[in-house]
Amino acid sequence: MNEIFDAIKEVCIEIKNALAFEETNYTQNTNSTGDTQLALDVKCDLMIQKKFSKLKCIKQIISEEKEEPMDMHENGEYIVAYDPLDGSSLVDVNLSVGSIFGIYKSEVGAKNLLASVYVVFGPRVELVIAHEEAKLYRLDKNEEFKFIKTIKLNKKGKHNAPGGTQKHWEKKHKKLIDEIFQDGYRLRYSGGMVPDLHQILLKGGGLFSYPATSDNKKGKLRMLFEVFPFAFVFEKAGGEAIDGKQRLLELTPRHIHDTSPCFFGSTEEIKRVRKTYE
Ligand code: FDP
């Protein structure tokens, strides 16, 4: 497992440089979720593919940018599902973006998720590895990731990050979000899952939601590359992650690109979500 973590650290330095200096133009292609691909999406995907192809322990990779899984080493024990560049609609406005990795044993599915990693490309590059615990690292000037701290959520936070187009929200969801704001929570939403969740994790708690909406009945965020890896981080940090009713880490996708409504937060906020969706 450590060699996968090390490979991610190495490739993230390459991605950081690509983000800083390469063009932000779109390709003519759309990925399997229908998003128009940036040239950078494709480039980051290939960088990660190349890096993982050297690791004998990896049996297969599944990328948000690829239609199908890609086999690597027959005797490998891990499958890595990843979103090479999450929040790519923010690249051209120079906001923070990220990469997300879920490391699965033998086959994909929440039960088989052994560890997850995400990287935030902001003014600084930060990386969180969730395995036994959720640990924060920061890239230093020698291009090494230094351990900063173990992430632990409080029981209750102060921030609310409500995803999805409001006119497509269910009434009960709108009521929940309105009440949370009335209780004094502050809006923190950039439109990038990685920095938005990172903020909630580092500020000690709050709520990030991407619910089922009338235009996205099963939510927007993808289980294998986005939802499960972050659910794993939140649980390791002492928070919770549900689809409204059920733990996200109990769900089984039928297809590698399946999505799910999702709510990540500290225990108090998730209690409110449960009450709304029970
Ligand atoms: P993006 O489309 O820019 O790649 O992964 C999808 C994602 O970004 C998440 O990072 C983000 O949280 C979400 O979509 C934002 O969606 P909305 O624009 O609907 O709020």
Task: Name the CA dihedral angle for 56, 60, 62, 63, rounded to a multiple of 10 degrees.
Answer: 30
Q: Distance of CA 134 to CAs 41, 115, 127, 138, 253, Å?
A: 26, 10, 10, 14, 24
Q: Does any ligand 1 atom lie closer than 6 A to the CB of residue 163? A: yes
Residue nearest (by alpha carbon) to ligand 1 atom 8: 87
pLDDT score for 34: 67
3-state SS of the chain: helix, strand, coil percent to 5?
35, 30, 35
Q: Does any ligand 1 atom lie closer than 6 A to the CB of residue 84? A: no
* Distance in Å, CA 210 to ligand 1 centroid: 9
Tokens describing residue 219? 């939510």
Tokens describing residue 59? 């049996």
Q: Does any ligand 1 atom lie closer than 6 A to the CB of residue 36? A: no
Instruction: Judge contact between 196 and 7, C-beta under 8 A.
Output: no
Look up the pTM and report it. 0.95
Tens place of pLDDT for every residue, the chain, 278 residues? 899 999 999 999 999 999 998 877 776 677 666 677 778 999 999 999 999 999 999 999 999 999 999 999 999 999 999 999 999 889 999 999 999 999 999 889 899 999 999 999 999 999 999 999 999 999 999 999 999 999 999 999 999 999 999 999 999 999 999 999 999 999 999 999 999 999 999 999 999 999 999 999 999 999 999 999 999 999 999 999 999 999 999 999 999 999 999 999 999 999 999 999 99
C-alpha closest to that of 243 among 214, 216, 204, 270:
270
